[in-house]
Amino acid sequence: MSDNGHQQNEHENVPSRQRRRFEGISSRTYEHPADRSALVALRKLSGFDTVFKALSGLLPERSLRLLFLSDSVRVSDAQFAHLNTMLRDACHILDLEKVPPMYVAQDPQPNAMCIGLDEPIIVVTTGLVELLDEEEMRAVVGHEVGHALSGHAVYRTILLFLTNLALRVAWIPLGNIAIMAIVTALREWFRKSELSADRAGLLVGQDLKASMRGLMKLAGGNHLHEMNVDAFLEQAEEYEAGGDLRDSVLKILNTLPRTHPFTTVRAAELKKWAESRDYQRIMDGHYPRRTEDKETSVSDSFRQSAASYATDVKNSKDPLMKLVSDIAGGAGDLGGRVRRGFGGFAGGTPKDQTTPEDRTSPKDQPPRDSTPEDDD
pLDDT range class, residue 94, cuts 50, 70, 90: very high
The 10s digit of each residue's pLDDT in 229-238 is 999 999 988 8
Lowest mean pLDDT among 160-164, 268-272, 294-298, 342-346: 342-346
pLDDT of residue 212: 97
Distance (Å, rounded) from C-alpha 152 to C-alpha 39?
A: 10
The 10s digit of each residue's pLDDT in 265-292 is 999 999 999 999 999 999 999 999 998 8
Residue 76 reports pLDDT greater than 70 = yes
Are 358 and 336 a contacting pair, CB within 8 Å?
yes
Nearest CA-CA partner of 60 in 170, 164, 181, 175: 164
The 10s digit of each residue's pLDDT in 173-214 is 655 666 666 667 667 777 888 999 999 999 999 999 999 999
Longest dimension (CA), the chain: 94
Nearest CA-CA partner of 13 in 119, 99, 108: 99
pLDDT of residue 151: 80
Distance (Å, rounded) from C-alpha 2 to C-alpha 126?
A: 36
Which residue among the candidates 136, 144, 240, 269 is catalytic per the annotation? Answer: 144
Nearest CA-CA partner of 263 in 190, 191, 313: 191
What letter would DSSP give residue 366? P
Distance (Å, rounded) from C-alpha 125 to C-alpha 187?
A: 22
pLDDT range class, residue 12, cuts 50, 70, 90: very low
pLDDT range class, residue 148, cuts 50, 70, 90: very high
Identify how many contiguous H helices and E strands the chain contains and give both numbers: 18, 4
pLDDT of residue 21: 96
Are 99 and 148 a contacting pair, CB within 8 Å?
no
Are 74 and 101 a contacting pair, CB within 8 Å?
yes
Q: How far is CA 37 from the centre of its chain?
A: 13
**Percent of the chain clearing pLDDT 90 (strictly above):** 40
pLDDT of residue 192: 83
The listed range with the strongest mean pLDDT (194-208, 301-315, 329-343) is 194-208
| Higher per-residue confidence, 190 vs 295 | 190
pLDDT of residue 357: 45
| Higher per-residue confidence, 20 vs 65 | 20
Helix spans in 275-341 (H): 277-283, 298-315, 319-328, 334-341
Active site residue 10: no
Residue 112, phi then psi, degrees to nearest 5: -150, 150
pLDDT range class, residue 246, cuts 50, 70, 90: low
pLDDT range class, residue 2, cuts 50, 70, 90: very low
Helix spans in 206-351 (H): 208-220, 229-241, 245-255, 263-274, 277-283, 298-315, 319-328, 334-341
| Higher per-residue confidence, 61 vs 97 | 97
Distance (Å, rounded) from C-alpha 253 to C-alpha 247?
A: 10
Residue type, 313: V
pTM of the model: 0.69
Mean pLDDT, rounded, of the chain: 74
pLDDT of residue 189: 72
pLDDT of residue 72: 96
pLDDT of residue 65: 80
Region of residue 368 (phi > 0: left; psi between -120 and 50: alpha; otherwise: beta) = beta
pLDDT range class, residue 92, cuts 50, 70, 90: very high
pLDDT of residue 93: 97
Nearest CA-CA partner of 119 in 148, 93, 142: 148
Distance (Å, rounded) from C-alpha 289 to C-alpha 24?
A: 5
Residue range 106-135: average pLDDT? 92
pLDDT range class, residue 4, cuts 50, 70, 90: very low
pLDDT of residue 316: 54
Residue 105 reports pLDDT greater than 60 = yes
Strand, helix or coil at 105? strand
Residue 223 reports pLDDT greater than 90 = yes
pLDDT of residue 293: 74
pLDDT of residue 35: 76
The listed range with the strongest mean pLDDT (42-56, 257-271, 350-364) is 257-271
The 10s digit of each residue's pLDDT in 25-72 is 999 899 888 776 665 555 555 565 556 556 555 555 677 788 888 999
